[in-house]
Chains A and B, each alone.
Chain A
């Protein structure tokens, strides 16, 4: 089901902190096998923000969960590598598991489960779209963050732990000497750090708020608290899955500013997952566009936004109304995202049933092709222009399982508009 894998030729960089190669995650459900992540490759540089953008059901969240090894049954990571650069960790494993080590990089997928779990917190940390579900409703916010701090402390005490932490979190030791007699926390020091973290993410009166329960927080506050919790481990990589989707724009602006500041201050790398192209443009240095379990185009923000080559990327950009330049008719992509069930997915370019430029040669699964520099796309158009004589007949996919709902979704008017504009 995976395309004939042309080894990735996209330039890798010395500064890479994470190299994901041909990652595959599948769910084995009653309806069939769901190829949620289907051969995904990308690299995240140190202190960089890498964005993954795509529509609902394209596999963004499952990619995120896979990075942290949080995929649950019936799902499983079925292939690929997650190379994580960490000299200490590499040293540790060089002798025992040489196949998992390449220079300073360690393939975390080849480590034991316990070893991978130990990386959660100090190496990888995650924030979720739905902050409420990330917290336990019956414990105070402070207790839960203190718990995360505690976990981090234990990891640090552990000699096999990851890098030594040199950077502090700013506010320093102002709380030293503080006595908090009646409060019942995991550990006084952890509680103080939890308050410090809450203060850091901009929660007013953090000492009071720490004693409140998640339900007493507003959406924006809880999102901040979750970021505080994720920062407790001082992670190298923060995976943020739709961190602002549930929030109003004004609160979104606060949270994005906060993430930017924290990133600048701590030098962590961020993998930012979102369906909002504006959020990508605001935050990311590099971007991968995800469609049907694959990254169909990736490169720098400029590559992808200013010179998109994949028709899906072009379609996505054409679908968003522009706040500053209104008025034009939108150019939607016809049809819908496929459901990713293996038996519904024909062995071809997964976008072909919606693509205005689909041709005969798109019926072979296109591998990723290099456009130039870091810019790459899974599309035959990288090799040569659209050739009308090769175009697939109208309604080619109609009746096939995957194209069924899709074909009728775009109204005729939409399709006509699409055609009218695709030539210029």
Chain B
């Protein structure tokens, strides 16, 4: 078994480096996902319809594109709730898609039926996260592994039995454990059983949804090595979903980064980790604590706030409410941090609802008389260096906006700020261009239609600032939640 110890990962990596020099890959993808959408609807019951409540759509997966090439491991990363699992389950036809297409080995997955669907279900497998609930507690390890063979009528009874025993041995369990039940195994061993089951039908493609995140680190390492060994032995292609970036860097050849139902960056693993192009990827990487004694002194700027609710996604770039690099309009010349502070204030006003009462309290004047104190509080609390950075027109505009807020005129304040500070990031939705390492960000190369929309918005700016171009909700809509 020592031949497994060859670090074949390295061979794959060299491969990748070569690939990235080309602009396009020449080999055909095994799995190709285009414009995949999965929406859920809330307030869509009969009562809601009678009450004329508009259904609220939750775009769990909102136009996802990626390819998985034969023999590679594509990692999918992103914060919880960003749509990783929904993407995988939809592409495997475990959930009904709302839109888009998936091809597997050139065939349209969503149009398969009968034998072709059954064939797909053999060639593509899923292994889930939780080693404690994903196995049927009433079946023995052997039965669990045999079941898919029985469903697909593969081999004779005796052959199935042999195959199951062989698979269990390959994943590191012993023959005398075949007749044990899941509760008699540890978490790592259960993941091995789940993996043996996924291998039973000799698939080409396996979706691994957080396969090691419930495991202890020492056991996690055992399972990761096993996954690598089996991939080499059986020529497997993996879609590897994980939130642990160290694990992803270790096992993946390419990585797709998801945010709020969209893929925001895809690329070869080393490029993603060493030269991330999307500000979100950068922030994710920065947040991971390294197991290293230098870690204490590493300066980490944490992203502000939470991921916005998918019920009310931001217009334009979905990351813009937290992006430290959000792009100022040409005529604004503020240091980036101060401009980001302005967008943060605008988000508080337009999206999150700024608690004016608290600001007054904070200013020590709950009777709302001392406007100067109110404004002082706003400058101090919401900005890092207001006095140093804001001068001339910027100081005047901010002053006007603070006056409006002090008077309780939230919508007016929102408009004043929008007019001067609206960013291309909220107006135009950036997309993934067609390249080996694309990023959906206006700071990077963008497809022609996005560039046109940006140009149109810029031409239109000044006068009608805030009017959204592209497919994002108009900024005005988002602003209506202000009070």
Name A residues whose Cβ lies closer than 8 Å to a Cβ of B.
Answer: 55-56, 174-179, 195, 204-208, 218, 220-221, 248-254, 256-257, 275-283, 301-302, 305-306, 315-324, 326-334, 336-337, 405, 408-414, 416-417, 420
Contact = CB atoms under 8 A, between A and B. Distances in A.
Query: Which 6 pairs, one residue from A and one from B, show the smallest C-beta to C-beta distance?
Result: A278-B289, A411-B172, A332-B221, A321-B250, A253-B287, A277-B291
Nearest to A322: B246
A417 B305 CA distance: 43
B463 interface: no
Contacts of A410: 172, 222
A319 B219 CA distance: 8
B22 interface: no
27 contacts: A174-B364, A177-B366, A195-B358, A204-B348, A205-B358, A249-B287, A252-B289, A253-B289, A253-B302, A254-B302, A254-B304, A256-B300, A257-B300, A275-B216, A277-B291, A281-B290, A282-B296, A305-B293, A319-B221, A327-B13, A329-B5, A405-B189, A409-B172, A409-B188, A410-B172, A413-B4, A413-B225
Contacts of A324: 273, 290
A355 to B, nearest CB: 12
B448 interface: no
B218 A323 contact: no
Interface in B161-198: 171-174, 177, 185-186, 188-189
Nearest to A247: B80
Nearest to B214: A56
A152 B422 CA distance: 47
Interface stretch (B63-71, B126-134, B349-357): B349-357
A315 B285 CA distance: 25
Contacts of A175: 361-362
A323 B77 CA distance: 14
Given A323-B288, A328-B7, A336-B186, A218 B225 contact: no
Given A281-B290, A281-B291, 4 more contacts: A175-B362, A302-B293, A411-B225, A412-B172
A204 B296 contact: no
Interface of B: 1-2, 4-5, 7, 9-10, 13, 79-80, 171-174, 177, 185-186, 188-189, 216-222, 224-226, 228-229, 243, 245-247, 249-251, 269-270, 273, 283-293, 295-296, 298, 300, 302-307, 348, 352-355, 357-358, 361-364, 366
A205 B362 CA distance: 11
B231 to A, nearest CB: 13
A27 B17 CA distance: 55
A298 B228 CA distance: 34
A56 B222 CA distance: 16
Contact of B273 (A281, A318, A323, A408): A323
B144 to A, nearest CB: 17
Contacts of B186: 336, 405, 409
Residue among A206, A281, A302, A322 facing the most chain B CB atoms (10 A cut-off): A281
A268 B300 CA distance: 22
Nearest to B354: A205
Contact of B289 (A176, A218, A256, A333): A256
A417 B221 CA distance: 12
Contact of B302 (A174, A257, A331): A257
A204 B352 contact: yes
Contact of B358 (A207, A250, A280, A283): A207
Nearest to A332: B221
B273 to A, nearest CB: 7
Contacts of B358: 195, 205-208
A224 B146 CA distance: 47
A330 B221 contact: yes
B269 to A, nearest CB: 7
Given A207-B357, A409-B219, A323 B245 contact: yes
Contacts of B249: 321, 323, 326
Given A319-B221, A320-B246, A411-B222, A250 B283 contact: yes
